[in-house]
Chains A and B, each alone.
Chain A
């Protein structure tokens, strides 16, 4: 049994959710509170990966990140590193692919908070940053956790995007690709093992989400 695909998968999912965590909070905050009339466009863009076939996203990413692409080409000429078919490329792809799974729970979390919370904090002389970090974010902890776990899990389940921009290389062979590869090699033993581990993992992680969100809400004294 080769465990490297799992190592790559978890590393990818971990880095992806970290990056998403950092960029999604300001984005979700803006989406929840902004009164800009073009907000819906950004909202639509963020949610695109949910409805877009992964192969479409993967194809565009391949064109953009490839050596002739405008992102890949620029990065290549400045830093002399490839983006397509590398782990870095996978991270970029996964961040875009899992973006809605992080942004939406957080945005919903913000929107569900009573505005009196924010107002109380402002009245008490706290600025927006303090209000965000000390009042709003702590209040939406279940949402933050849900977002993180969902984007983590979603990245682990990624296939089409990875296949398009990562290929089936040693460096980019995540678990889902390893399953595909071993089935094509007729190595059913590996395919069974890989699949079963992913199955188990998905179940455990979703059970955790439901357990934690329920507990989280209970902690807020909803009786």
Chain B
């Protein structure tokens, strides 16, 4: 390469670099970010980890709670098992509203909570399909050849998955249907499989029905409660909430046992005893 060309080349590049619009944009962005980071005023809030089956009812409960106490409810939903793992690794939740008692008890035993978990509702398991299906035979209806794929929640992380497998086993259907089972992370994912038509039927929480307008509910059938251990859903206040946010956490904890919430839970198909 002849020298003048290369000199010209360096010169052009040097000119380009002198403008440095890129660097300038970076600096502007940086300043903006540092300002936006310093929002020091923390709003009143309570952070709640919610089992996937309860998220529909929780939406309404949170709304009522916000209306009543003017405290924001931050909801994070997932399978109870996943949430438990997150809490163990330091996820900043004030309360844990689980789909069973086992996980809250585990956290209580591990010292992540100082008060014993308490039952707030009993959940029920249903078979749900977006198509018009015949569920009159109860759980036996699942043997029908029209069900090629059956979604259940993962029994490692989701209490409704444990209940579903237990019911299938008690009814002696597990071995026959084993190949048709599709596992979702939580009932949330099971619902999604059913709703999108990826599976023909799903074993899920009854509450899903009440989150949908009546025209979109499809067909469903109850699973005989004697086939599975009652799904006793527990709530526990976590150390995190006790130490950092006791007042709001207590308000929400008590609210979960108020008549108002009991009514909401009932409309979503939960049993209160």
A→B interface (CB under 8 Å): 11, 14-15, 18, 21, 62, 66-68, 72, 76, 82, 84-86, 114, 116-117, 120, 134-135, 137-139, 141, 144-145, 148, 167-170, 181, 183-186, 219-221
Question: Which B residues from 161 to 208 make CB contacts under 8 A with A?
Answer: 186, 188-189, 191-192, 195, 208
B90 contacts A66, CB within 8 Å?
A: yes
Q: Is the interface of A mostly helix, strand, loop or mixed?
A: helix
Contacts of A139 in B (CB 8 A): 13
Q: Answer whether A117 and B10 are a contact pair too, CB < 8 Å, given A85-B91, A138-B16.
A: yes
A66 contacts B89, CB within 8 Å?
A: yes
Closest 4 pairs (CB-CB, A-B): A184-B188, A138-B17, A66-B89, A67-B90
Minimum CB–CB distance from A25 to chain B (whole Å) comes to: 13
10 A-B residue pairs with CB within 8 Å: A18-B29, A120-B6, A137-B17, A138-B17, A141-B13, A169-B47, A169-B74, A185-B56, A186-B208, A219-B12
**B76 interfacial contact with A, CB 8 Å:** yes
A185 contacts B188, CB within 8 Å?
A: yes
Annotate B76-112 by CB proximity to A: 1 below 8 A, 0 otherwise.
Answer: 1110000000101111100000000000000000000
Q: Is the interface of B mostly helix, strand, loop or mixed?
A: helix
A167 contacts B76, CB within 8 Å?
A: yes
Interface residues of B, count at CB 8 A: 39
Contacts of B29 in A (CB 8 A): 14, 18
A141 contacts B16, CB within 8 Å?
A: yes
A220 contacts B9, CB within 8 Å?
A: yes
Contacts of A138 in B (CB 8 A): 13-14, 16-17
B77 contacts A185, CB within 8 Å?
A: yes
Contacts of A168 in B (CB 8 A): 76-78
Contacts of A144 in B (CB 8 A): 22
A170: which of B8, B56, B76, B188 is its contact (CB, 8 Å)? B76
B90 contacts A84, CB within 8 Å?
A: yes
Contacts of A134 in B (CB 8 A): 14, 17
Minimum CB–CB distance from B13 to chain A (whole Å) comes to: 4
